[in-house]
Amino acid sequence: MSYDVIVVGGGNAALCAALSASESVKKVLVLERAPEDEAGGNSRFTAGLFRLAYRGPEDLKTLIPDLSEQEIANTDFGTYTEEQFLDDMARVTEYRCDPDLTEVLVKNSLPTVRWMRERGVRFTAAWGRQAFKIGGKFKFWGGLTVEAVGGGPGLVESLTQIAKKAGIEILYGARALSLVADDSGVHGVVVKHQGKTKTLSSKSVVLAAGGFQANTEWRTRYMGPGWELAKVRGTRFNTGDAIRMALDIGAAAHGNWSGCHAVAWDRNAPETGDLAVGDGFQKHSYPWGVYINADGKRFVDEGADFRNYTYAKYGRVILSQPKQFAWQIFDAKVKAQLRDEYRIKQVTRVTGNTLEELVAKLDDTDQAAALKELKEYNAAVQTQIPFNPNVKDGRCTTNLRINKSNWANTLDTPPFEAYAVTCGITFSFGGLKINPQGQVVNSDGGLIPGLYAAGELVGGIFWFNYPGGSGLTNGAVFGRIAGASAAAAATGR
């Protein structure tokens, strides 16, 4: 069996790569390790949020043609310029993000999502998660405005249907094992499908099989002691196979191998993601409350920045707390503002009508220390500064060991609630090195003919932290580029 392009993986990056390749070549095959009912990788677990640069509602209308004049009048979409996106990437990655790849990511963010729209993927504005209504008008904050209709499941379903209509073959339950390669480059993939190992040949290969976060042994080996204790938020199938396959034939290892995207995740969530709950185990409303650890102490500035710029690094902070967990504590004043994930059935929550009553229910925790800490926090809030969730309001605490910089509300209105969270890992940051055309670089600095990569398994783009909604954009932008490059190479080989 011979193909023009074989794509390894079945998520957003892989399907975008396959679609893009199919615009120039006929025989495109997608190998998806998961069975069909679990297919779609981490992409399927997402809310479908895409970070992209836009100049205002006129750009958004090209992605969301049914955005009405009334919706535009009732919403302050603001702008999110390429400069802001570049600045956010540089700032949150502590200026380590690869400048060439980051520029490609940012400059292609809007055109790529527009291409997806033209191919048939539908988008809407993320009013529910990324905007607050104040004075009768929604205002978007944090550079994240667009989501796929139907979230991650809608995105994967839509891309899959479009791919099938384009004549792309998708093989489910097909685990790529190794690359067929010689001195002249890559010529195919060895795959195990329905218990049988076969060799499939192709003119080029795109690797888009996700990171290694679901591989407990690699996680501990590369991220360090304690990472075997993290929960995996998404698919159980991203165990680093494609990274290993490429390293085996001489690809360079690149990027932040000890780093990852990791968030606050329900303490009693299952070890790997549950598609029925999706991203519902996450608990992202901590900027409106306070964190307390098992020693009864606050340990992080919950209001350091908008949630989009802190949530992906705070999972690691929670993992490093005693017993690897923490409580998020809120009072009734912010209840209406808590995200929908706080209202799911599978939540680890205790409530109390006084702080004393609440604290008495905090299992595994130094309750006396917790009560003292909460009272000291309450006394330190600068209540003369008005609270405003749409801006970094500067409503802070003063003179605490760890201050809260914004959105500091006193905990004074019952009922009080506490949610137990641990660390949920989203994806690993280390992986392969690619050039701006999506071609894989070898450990001598040369290019591997016929081998391309995109998505989570590419290293060098995200370090330490990540601006929310960049993962899908990253997969789509580099998936599209890698697919086109792989197809061009296939026609020239």
Ligand X SMILES: Cc1cc2nc3c(=O)[nH]c(=O)nc-3n(C[C@H](O)[C@H](O)[C@H](O)COP(=O)(O)OP(=O)(O)OC[C@H]3O[C@@H](n4cnc5c(N)ncnc54)[C@H](O)[C@@H]3O)c2cc1C
Among 27, 96, 139, 175, binds ligand X (CB under 6 A): 175
Task: Decide: is 426 part of the binding site for ligand X (CB under 6 A).
Answer: yes
Query: Tokens 């360090």 label which residue?
Result: 224
Grouping H, G, I as helix, E, B as strand and the rest as coil, residue 295 is coil
# binding residues, ligand X (CB under 6 A): 42
271-330: which residues touch ligand X (CB under 6 A)?
279
- The β-bridge relationship of strands 260-266 and 253-254 is unpaired
Task: Decide: is 130 part of the binding site for ligand X (CB under 6 A).
Answer: no
Residues with Cβ within 8 Å of 303's Cβ and at least 6 positions away in sequence, in order, are: 287, 392, 396, 404, 405, 406, 407, 408
Measured between its terminal Cα atoms, the distance across the chain in Å is 17
Q: What is the CA radius of gyration of the chain?
A: 23
d(CA 342, CA 272): 19
192-211: which residues touch ligand X (CB under 6 A)?
208-210
Task: Decide: is 88 part of the binding site for ligand X (CB under 6 A).
Answer: no
Number of separate helices (H) and strands (E) present in the chain: 14, 22
d(CA 263, CA 219): 15
Task: Decide: is 34 part of the binding site for ligand X (CB under 6 A).
Answer: yes
211-240: which residues touch ligand X (CB under 6 A)?
233-235, 237-238
CB of 209 or CB of 371, closer to ligand X: 209
Residue 298 structure tokens: 């606050």
* Rounded least distance, CB 382 to ligand X, Å: 33
* Rounded least distance, CB 453 to ligand X, Å: 9
Peptide bond into 415 cis (omega under 30): yes
Task: Decide: is 425 part of the binding site for ligand X (CB under 6 A).
Answer: no
CB of 9 or CB of 142, closer to ligand X: 9
Task: Decide: is 256 part of the binding site for ligand X (CB under 6 A).
Answer: no
In whole angstroms, how far apart are CA 266 and each of 25, 180, 230, 370, 419? 45, 42, 11, 20, 8
* Rounded least distance, CB 222 to ligand X, Å: 17
Task: Decide: is 8 part of the binding site for ligand X (CB under 6 A).
Answer: yes
* Rounded least distance, CB 16 to ligand X, Å: 8
Task: Decide: is 241 part of the binding site for ligand X (CB under 6 A).
Answer: yes
* Rounded least distance, CB 315 to ligand X, Å: 11
d(CA 172, CA 379): 58
CB of 31 or CB of 53, closer to ligand X: 31
d(CA 194, CA 192): 7
d(CA 451, CA 188): 10
Task: Decide: is 452 part of the binding site for ligand X (CB under 6 A).
Answer: no
Q: Which residues form the interface with ligand X (CB under 6 A)?
A: 8-14, 31-34, 39-43, 45-49, 175-176, 208-210, 233-235, 237-238, 241, 279, 426-427, 455-456, 469-472, 475
